C-alpha cells in the first residue's frame, strides 16, 4: 500500500542554496516519499523565490514587517503551514528566531542547519567565531528546533577542518558544501521514517 508523500515547507530569507540542494535530491530520487509543497520567505527579494519558480514550487512572501511582534507573525506562519498540511518545516537561511507559537505547533518537525559543530559556536557568525577562536575543526549541524538558540536535538553533523591557508570566506564556502550534503541526508532520513527523538538524542533506525 503506497503512502502519500510527506509535505515539506522550506522557510528562507535569502539565497536558498540548501533549498536548491533538497529540491535537486527530491527530483533525482535521492529523497523519496516527499514533496516540497511551498517555499515561504519573509523577504520579497529573496533569490530562493526565483529558484522555486524554476521548479514550479509555490512561493509565498510573508513579510514580518506587517506584524506587530514575533508571536503574531509566527501565528500567521502556523496558519499558513497548517493550510498546506505540512509534515516537516525546513529552515534554510531563515533569518528569524522562532517563538514558542511556532515551535509548539510543530514539535520535532522543524529542522535547521547551523554552520558549526554544536554546541560549539551557536548564534550568528559561527564561521567567524570558529576561525577567531583558533579551532582546528568546525563543520555543520542539522538539528530539530526547540525553544533555545541552536540547542535542539542533533540529527547529523559533518566535520570540516580549518586549514592554515583558510580565510573566513574559504572556510564558509567549504562548510556550505557539507551543509548541502548533510541537510539532504537528514531530510531523507526523516521522510523515510527513520528518526526518533528520545530526550536530547535523535535515534536513527536501520
114 labelled catalytic: yes
Catalytic residue among 114, 143, 176, 180: 114
Are the beta carbons of 115 and 126 closer than 8 angstroms?
yes
**Burial of 183 by CB count in 10 Å (0-12 exposed, 13-18 middle, 19+ buried)?**
buried
Would you give the distance in Å from CA 164 to the centre of its chain?
A: 29
* DSSP reduced 3-state for 135: coil
User: From CA 194, how far away is CA 188, in angstroms rounded?
Assistant: 9
Are the beta carbons of 86 and 11 closer than 8 angstroms?
no
Give catalytic residues, as residue numbers.
114
Amino acid at each position: 500500500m503506497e503512502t502519500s508523500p510527506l509535505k515539506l515547507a522550506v522557510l528562507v530569507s535569502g539565497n536558498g542554496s540548501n533549498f536548491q540542494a533538497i529540491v535537486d535530491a527530491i527530483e533525482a530520487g535521492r529523497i523519496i516519499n516527499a514533496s516540497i509543497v511551498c517555499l515561504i520567505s519573509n523577504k520579497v527579494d529573496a533569490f530562493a523565490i526565483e529558484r522555486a519558480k524554476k521548479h514550479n514550487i509555490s512561493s509565498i512572501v510573508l513579510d514580518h514587517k506587517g506584524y506587530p511582534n514575533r508571536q503574531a507573525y509566527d501565528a500567521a506562519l502556523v496558519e499558513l503551514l497548517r493550510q498546506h498540511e505540512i509534515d516537516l518545516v525546513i529552515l534554510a537561511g531563515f533569518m528569524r528566531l522562532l517563538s514558542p507559537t511556532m515551535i509548539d505547533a510543530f514539535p520535532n518537525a522543524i529542522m535547521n542547519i547551523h554552520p558549526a559543530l554544536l554546541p560549539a559556536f551557536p548564534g550568528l557568525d559561527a564561521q567567524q567565531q570558529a576561525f577567531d577562536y583558533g579551532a582546528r575543526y568546525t563543520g555543520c549541524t542539522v538539528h530539530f528546533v526547540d525553544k533555545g538558540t541552536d540547542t535542539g536535538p542533533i540529527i547529523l553533523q559533518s566535520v570540516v577542518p580549518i586549514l592554515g591557508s583558510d580565510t573566513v570566506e574559504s572556510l564558509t564556502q567549504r562548510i556550505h558544501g557539507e551543509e548541502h550534503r548533510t541537510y539532504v541526508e537528514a531530510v531523507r532520513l526523516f521522510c523515510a521514517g527513520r528518526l526518533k527523538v528520545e530526550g536530547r538524542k535523535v535515534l536513527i533506525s536501520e
